[in-house]
Amino acid sequence: PGMLKMRREGKEQKKNILLKQQTQFAKPLPTLVKPAAEAGQDNPEWLISEDWALLQAVKQLLELPLNLAVVSPAHTPNWDLVSDVVNSCSRVYRSPKQCRNRYENVIIPREEGKTKNSRPLRTNQIYAQDEGATHTQLYTNHFEMMKMIAGKRSPPIKPLLGMNPFQKNPKHASVLAER
C-alpha cells in the first residue's frame, strides 16, 4: 500500500510539471490556409451584425484572447455556444464549423489589421458605421419580394351565393324563412 501511494504521487507530480510547462508559453493556434466559403444560395454572405456577435461571443462570453491562444489547457473555444449566440441574431443558421472558419479566416485578420484594404477597419468600427443598415436593407428586400409575389397572384374568386346581395348563405336564409 505504501509503495502504491508513492507511485501515484510521483505520477501526479509529473503530470503537474508537464501541465505547468505547457501553460507557461501560450501559443496561438496554427493558421492554416483554408479556402474561404463562397457566398451562395446555401451559404449567404455574413452580415456585420453576425461578425460582431461572433467577435463578442469569443472575447466577452468565452473570455478568450483575440488570437485564441491557449492559456489553460481546459480553456478552449466552445464553437457550439458561439454558434448559438450568432444564431440568436442571425438571419440564417450558422454552424459551429462556419463560425470557427469565419473567425479564423476573417475576424482575426481584420482585427489584427492584416486585411488587404487600403484603410482596414476593425469589426466594431464597421458595425458602428453600419447602424443597422444591413438589417434594414434585408427586411426591405424581403418586403419588396412579398409585394411582388402577392401582385403576381390572381385574386381569389368569390362564389355568388344568390341573386340577393344581402343574402350571405342561402341555406341559413331558407332555415330563417321557414320560421
- Which pLDDT tens digit goes with each residue over 142-157? 888 888 888 888 877 7
Q: Residues 52-81: what's their mean pLDDT? A: 88
The C-alpha cell at 58 is 469569443
What distance lies between CA 54 and its chain's CA centroid? 7
Tell me: pLDDT of 24 over 70. Answer: no
Region of 27 on the Ramachandran plot (φ > 0 left; ψ -120 to 50 alpha; else beta):
beta
List helix spans (H) across 32-104: 48-56, 79-87, 96-102
> What is the predicted pLDDT for the residue at 37?
47
Q: How far apart are CA 114 and CA 125, in angstroms?
A: 15
The C-alpha cell at 8 is 501515484
- Is there a contact between 45 and 137 (Cβ–Cβ < 8 Å)? no
Q: Name the packing angle between helices 123-130 and 48-56 (round to 10°).
A: 140
**CB neighbourhood size of 102 (10 A):** 21
> What is the predicted pLDDT for the residue at 82?
94
pTM confidence score = 0.52
Q: Residues 81-85: what's their mean pLDDT? A: 94
Tell me: pLDDT of 79 over 80. Answer: yes
Helices and strands (DSSP H and E) totals, the chain: 8, 0
Q: How far apart are CA 156 and CA 9, in angstroms?
A: 82
Q: How far apart are CA 179 and CA 166, in angstroms?
A: 19
Summary mean pLDDT of the chain: 76
Q: How far apart are CA 16 and CA 5, in angstroms?
A: 17
Residue 119 banded pLDDT, cuts 50, 70, 90: low
Tell me: pLDDT of 88 over 50. Answer: yes
